[in-house]
């Protein structure tokens, strides 16, 4: 990109939804990640499945999927998209200690699915916090970022491992 610009601003600087009608429909995939850091005993409680609120991981996974499908209602100027796939994976990570959330969004369409993957991760992380806050109010949510995108004019992009 020789002259990057914000695509949601018109020539006068007014915000508007990007017109994607002239774009070719292609398969588009985005992968995002994030984490919830917590005390080890909180991680153990979540992984054991003994939380008083129920299965934290299953609930967070469903919340992330539901959120991805409603991204256009949450983020101004996002297009409503017919997702063909949204997957949310949550893995314990003892080195944090905490949970790593990864979301993959996919469709065949005229615009990307980065925001849907990022929204899925964000809401899954928030759900984990909500369900475990009675045990650990000091949890932190962070490291939410796009890892990879495929499709469209810009092609295939993978985040640099050092990029944060």
Q: Is residue 164 part of a domain?
A: no
Q: How far apart are CA 99 and CA 17, in angstroms?
A: 35
Q: Tell me phi and psi for residue 132, to 5 degrees.
A: -110, 5
Q: Say if residue 164's pLDDT is above 50.
A: no
Average pLDDT over residues 22-41: 96
Residue 154 burial (10 A CB sphere; 0-12, 13-18, 19+):
exposed
- Under the banding of pLDDT at 50, 70 and 90, the label for residue 1 is very low
The predicted model scores a pTM of 0.90
Element (H, E) at 93: strand 85-93
Q: How far apart are CA 51 and CA 111, in angstroms?
A: 39
User: In the annotation, is 89 catalytic?
Assistant: no
What is the model's pLDDT at position 4?
67
- Under the banding of pLDDT at 50, 70 and 90, the label for residue 153 is confident
Q: Say if residue 110's pLDDT is above 80.
A: yes
Q: What secondary structure letter does DSSP report for 129?
A: H
What is the model's pLDDT at position 22?
85
Q: Is residue 3 part of a domain?
A: no
Total number of domains in the chain: 1
- Locate 111 and state its tokens: 């615009």
Q: Is residue 53 part of a domain?
A: yes
Structural domain of 63:
26-150
Q: Is residue 20 part of a domain?
A: no
Q: Is residue 15 part of a domain?
A: no
How far is residue 161 CA from its own chain's centroid? 18
What is the model's pLDDT at position 17?
81
Q: Is residue 157 part of a domain?
A: no
User: The domain that contains 98 carries what CATH number?
Assistant: 3.30.70.640
Pick the range with the lowest mean pLDDT from 35-49, 72-86, 102-116, 148-162.
148-162
Q: Which of 44, 89, 93, 130 is catalytic?
A: 130
Average pLDDT over residues 53-71: 97
Q: Say if residue 56's pLDDT is above 70.
A: yes
Q: Is residue 161 part of a domain?
A: no
Q: Say if residue 87's pLDDT is above 50.
A: yes
Residues whose CB falls within 8 Å of the CB of residue 36, separated by 6 or more in sequence, listed in order: 98, 99, 101, 125, 128, 129, 139, 140, 141
């Amino acid at each position: 990109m020789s002259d990057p610009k914000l695509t949601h601003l018109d020539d006068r600087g007014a915000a508007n939804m990007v017109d994607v009608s002239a774009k070719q429909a292609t398969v588009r995939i985005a992968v995002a990640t994030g984490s919830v850091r917590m005390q080890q005993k909180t991680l153990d409680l979540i992984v054991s499945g003994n939380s008083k609120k129920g299965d934290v991981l299953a609930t967070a996974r469903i919340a992330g999927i539901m959120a991805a499908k409603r991204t256009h209602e949450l983020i101004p100027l996002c297009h409503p998209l017919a997702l063909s796939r949204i997957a949310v994976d949550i893995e314990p990570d003892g080195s944090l200690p905490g949970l790593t959330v990864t979301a993959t969004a996919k469709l065949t369409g005229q615009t990307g699915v980065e925001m849907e993957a990022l929204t899925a991760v964000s809401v899954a992380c928030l759900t984990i916090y909500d369900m475990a806050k009675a045990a650990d109010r000091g949890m932190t949510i962070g490291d939410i970022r796009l890892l990879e995108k495929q499709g469209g004019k810009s092609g295939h992009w993978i985040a640099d491992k050092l990029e944060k």
